[in-house]
A and B are shown apart, each in its own frame.
Chain A
Amino acid sequence: DTGVSQDPRHKITKRGQNVTFRCDPISEHNRLYWYRQTLGQGPEFLTYFQNEAQLEKSRLLSDRFSAERPKGSFSTLEIQRTEQGDSAMYLCASSFSVSYNSPLHFGNGTRLTVT
């Protein structure tokens, strides 16, 4: 068990470019979550998967954002036509859904800076 892994740790991009982040959850975890955190705020829910199915999306997730988890293992989060307001820490978390009291395990996040 190596924990939740996110790649890259940092991404600097110019406004209008597309970016893609990757998350590898803990191997036996069937649920995977994406959160966004801006400076001085708590994380905000974006979307979550159970296995390969995307079961809920926040209204924060505009049509420029898309997330996938094709084989129920790793997940990608893509942002198209990035805007300066997309600058934030993007956090991935995973859990095991047998019990709804299963704690979430977070990765170290991807810090996105849009210039």
Chain B
Amino acid sequence: KQEVTQIPAALSVPEGENLVLNCSFTDSAIYNLQWFRQDPGKGLTSLLLIQSSQREQTSGRLNASLDKSSGRSTLYIAASQPGDSATYLCAVQGSSNTGKLIFGQGTTLQVKP
């Protein structure tokens, strides 16, 4: 059974700092891994999708890496801003072609001005 874990559960940093969020998964047989952002009381916004054949994806100040063999992904946020404050969730799509995602519990990020 696939399990996804995110560390740390919460993180507080001063504005401008570069930071890394971690995600690990137990079954390396995945189609893709996705990173989402969730603001309080809101739905999820897709940030990056890394296909199983890829090593990383970049979008603006965000860079996500994937190491399938070790079951790990990282989300790197450069030059953090107060507007980056949110919960970040990683999710893996397993080996069946259903599109079903298994989520971690999230990392809640606070960027202080």
Contacts and interface: CB of A to CB of B under 8 A. Distances in A.
Contacts of B51: 101
B32 A101 contact: yes
A100 B31 contact: yes
A6 B44 CA distance: 13
A79 interface: no
Interface stretch (A38-46, A68-76, A80-88): A38-46
B contact patch SS: strand
Interface residues of B, number: 26
Interface in B7-63: 31-32, 34, 36, 41-46, 49, 51
A27 interface: no
B100 A45 contact: yes
B86 interface: no
A33 B32 CA distance: 17
Interface string A45-88: 10010000001100000000000000000000000000000000
Interface size bracket, A side: 20 to 34
B69 interface: no
A109 B43 contact: yes
Closest 6 CB pairs of A and B: A42-B103, A106-B43, A106-B44, A108-B43, A103-B46, A100-B97
Interface of B: 4, 31-32, 34, 36, 41-46, 49, 51, 89, 91, 93, 97-106
10 contacts: A40-B105, A42-B105, A43-B101, A48-B99, A56-B98, A95-B99, A100-B97, A101-B31, A101-B32, A106-B36
Interface of A: 4, 6, 31, 33, 40-45, 48, 55-56, 91, 93, 95, 97, 100-109, 111
